[in-house]
Amino acid sequence: MHKILIEDIEREPNKTLHYEFDDEIEELEGCKLNADLEIKSLGDFIEIKGDVSGVVTLECDRCLNKFDYDLEFDIDETYAKRSLYDEYSQEVELQSGQFITDLNGEKEIDIYDLLYQSVILNLPNKKVCGINCNEGLFVSEEDMVIHDDRMDIFKNIPIQNDK
C-alpha cells in the first residue's frame, strides 16, 4: 500500500525522501487526504514532517445529519529504528517532544497508518455540522409532556401553604 522502506530513505541524497500522498482513507467515510511529507533519516531515528489537508464525512452529534469536515494539520513524528526498550527499561516521564514510535526492528514505515491515526487524533471532540445547528436541541412543549397514568394519583394531592 503506502509503505516506505527504511533502506530507500538511507539511499536518498541527504537521507531525505519527499513523499506525496493523495488518496482516500478507506476506514473513514468520505476521507480524502493530500499530504506533503518529508521523511528524513537521523541516525538511529527517522523523522516525518509535513502538511496534511483534506476532507472527511462526519455525523453531527446534534442533528445526526452527515456533513463534510475540512482537515488541515501538521505531522511531526519521530520513529526509532531499533528498540528503545533496553535504554528505557525503567519507567520514565515523557516530556514535550519526546514521544517516539518504536519500530522494533521493522524495515518499513506505514504512511497510510500514520495518516489514519493522525486524522483520528485531529477530529473534533464534538462533531457539529455548523454554528446554526439546533436540530434536536429544542422540542415543542407537546413533545416534552409525557402522560403516565400511574402518576395521576399525584394530581389530587392537596398542597398546603404554610405562610
- pLDDT digits over 132-144, tens only? 886 655 555 555 5
Q: pTM for this structure?
A: 0.71
Query: Is 100 a residue whose pLDDT tops 80?
Result: no
Given a cut of 60, whether residue 90 has pLDDT beyond it is no
Burial status of residue 152 (CB atoms within 10 A of its CB: 0-12, 13-18, 19 or more):
exposed
Mean pLDDT over the full length of the chain: 82
Helix (H) or strand (E) holding 46: strand 45-59
| 153 CA to centre of own chain | 52
Cα distances from 58 to residues 22, 25, 33, 63, 88, in angstroms, run 20, 14, 15, 12, 40
Give the percent of the chain with pLDDT over 70: 80
Tell whether the model's pLDDT for residue 89 goes beyond 80. Answer: no
DSSP 94-119: PPTT---EE-TT-SEEEHHHHHHHHH
Domain edges within the chain:
3-136
Q: How far apart are CA 99 and CA 41, in angstroms?
A: 17
Per-residue pLDDT tens for 101-118?
A: 777 777 889 999 999 999
Q: Which amino acid makes up residue 36?
A: D
Instruction: Give the whole-angstrom CA distance, residue 123 versus residue 151.
Output: 45
Whether pLDDT at 146 is above 70: no
| Cβ atoms of 2 and 111 closer than 8 Å | yes
145 pLDDT tier (thresholds 50, 70, 90) = low
Please tell me the predicted confidence (pLDDT) of residue 121: 92
In whole angstroms, give the CA distance from residue 23 to residue 123: 18
Q: Is the pLDDT of residue 86 over 60?
A: no
pLDDT tops 80 at residue 27: yes
Q: Provide the greatest CA pair distance for the chain.
A: 91
C-beta separation of 44 from 80 below 8 A: yes
Share of the chain above pLDDT 90, in %: 42
Q: What is the mean pLDDT of residues 53-61?
A: 94
Does 152 score more than 70 pLDDT? yes
